[in-house]
């Protein structure tokens, strides 16, 4: 798989693959938010309730104050028997409307490996990342409007060389506004599944 780079070390899928992934993206559930459900109704509606839109004609908003993620029960993307990425629904909430909005600034996604330390704790080590400007994120805009506003559906694939089977990872989204303020989502941890037939790569012994 050929990757293009928006920022050193932060690869991004070519537009053709991005569009294909966005078209097959499925809806998500299980909100990742600290707010009570009674006050945050951002979960995407079902097909009978959602209003179809042309996402290219919707005005963007830069007054984002929070990012809310909705994770499916099984977020993993697979090729053959390997986990190669994840999918998630993301709302960038406008301060004026308090609803999800399409954004003009830069969207970041960080994938960390949670590495054990000598004192028994874990620390984050960056494993992969994605960066999308307004044009790059256009393909991820969902063509339906939910009660909670407009939202993005991100199916994201990491590098084929990245072996995360069985690893504890943490995923976090960020948005850089025009005033340079960086808005961060709540990080979410997952244990990457290990396929039954998976064989870890053999490391060559040092001479």
- Domain enclosing residue 60, as ranges: 4-33+45-191
Closest among 13, 122, 106 to 62, alpha carbons compared: 106
The whole-number average pLDDT for the span 48-61 is: 83
pLDDT of residue 38: 31
- Supply the pLDDT for residue 29: 38
Asked whether the predicted pLDDT for residue 103 surpasses 70, the reply is yes
Per-residue pLDDT tens over the stretch 15-41:
444 444 444 443 333 344 444 333 344
- Whether 124 is covered by a domain: the verdict is yes
**Residue range 88-94: average pLDDT?**
98
Q: How confident is the model at residue 95 (pLDDT cuts 50, 70, 90)?
A: very high
Nearest to 66 by CA among 38, 27, 26, 39: 39
Q: How far apart, in whole angstroms, are the C-alpha atoms of residue 104 and residue 154?
A: 17
Query: Other CB atoms closer than 10 Å to residue 205's CB: what's the count?
Result: 5
pLDDT score recorded for residue 100: 98
Task: Confirm whether 204 is domain-assigned.
Answer: no
In a domain? residue 135: yes
Strands 144-145 and 51-52, by their bridges, are antiparallel
Q: What's the domain count of the chain? A: 1
Instruction: Please check whether residue 77 lies inside any domain of the structure.
Output: yes
Asked whether residue 93 is domain-assigned, the answer is: yes
Whole-number mean pLDDT of the chain?
Answer: 80
pTM for this model (two decimals): 0.74
Whether 201 is covered by a domain: the verdict is no
The DSSP string of 28-58 is --SEE-SS-TTT---SPPPTTTPEE--GGGS
Q: What angle do CA 34, 76, 12 make, to 5 degrees?
A: 90
pLDDT band with cut points at 50, 70 and 90 for residue 198: low
| CATH code of the domain in which 185 resides | 2.60.40
In a domain, 151, yes or no: yes
Q: pLDDT for 143-157, tens place per residue?
A: 999 999 999 999 999
Residue 63 belongs to some domain of the structure: yes
């Amino acid at each position: 798989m050929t990757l293009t780079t928006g920022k050193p070390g932060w690869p991004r899928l070519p537009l053709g693959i991005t569009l294909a992934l966005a078209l097959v993206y499925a809806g998500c559930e299980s909100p990742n938010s600290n707010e009570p459900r009674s006050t945050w109704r951002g979960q995407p509606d079902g097909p009978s309730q959602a209003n179809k839109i042309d996402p290219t004609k919707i005005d963007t908003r830069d007054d984002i104050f929070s990012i809310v993620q909705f994770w499916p029960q099984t977020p993993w993307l697979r090729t053959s028997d390997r986990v190669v990425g994840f999918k998630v629904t993301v709302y960038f909430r406008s301060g004026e409307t308090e609803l999800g909005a399409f954004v003009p600034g830069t969207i970041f996604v960080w994938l960390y490996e949670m590495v054990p330390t000598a004192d028994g704790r874990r620390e984050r080590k960056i494993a992969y990342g994605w960066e999308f400007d307004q044009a790059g994120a256009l393909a991820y805009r969902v063509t339906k409007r939910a009660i909670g506003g407009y939202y993005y559906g991100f199916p994201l694939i990491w590098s084929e060389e990245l072996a995360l089977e069985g690893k504890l990872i943490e995923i976090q989204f960020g948005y850089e506004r025009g005033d340079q303020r960086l808005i961060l989502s709540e990080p979410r941890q997952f244990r990457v599944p290990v396929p039954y037939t998976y064989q870890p790569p053999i490391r060559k012994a040092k001479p």
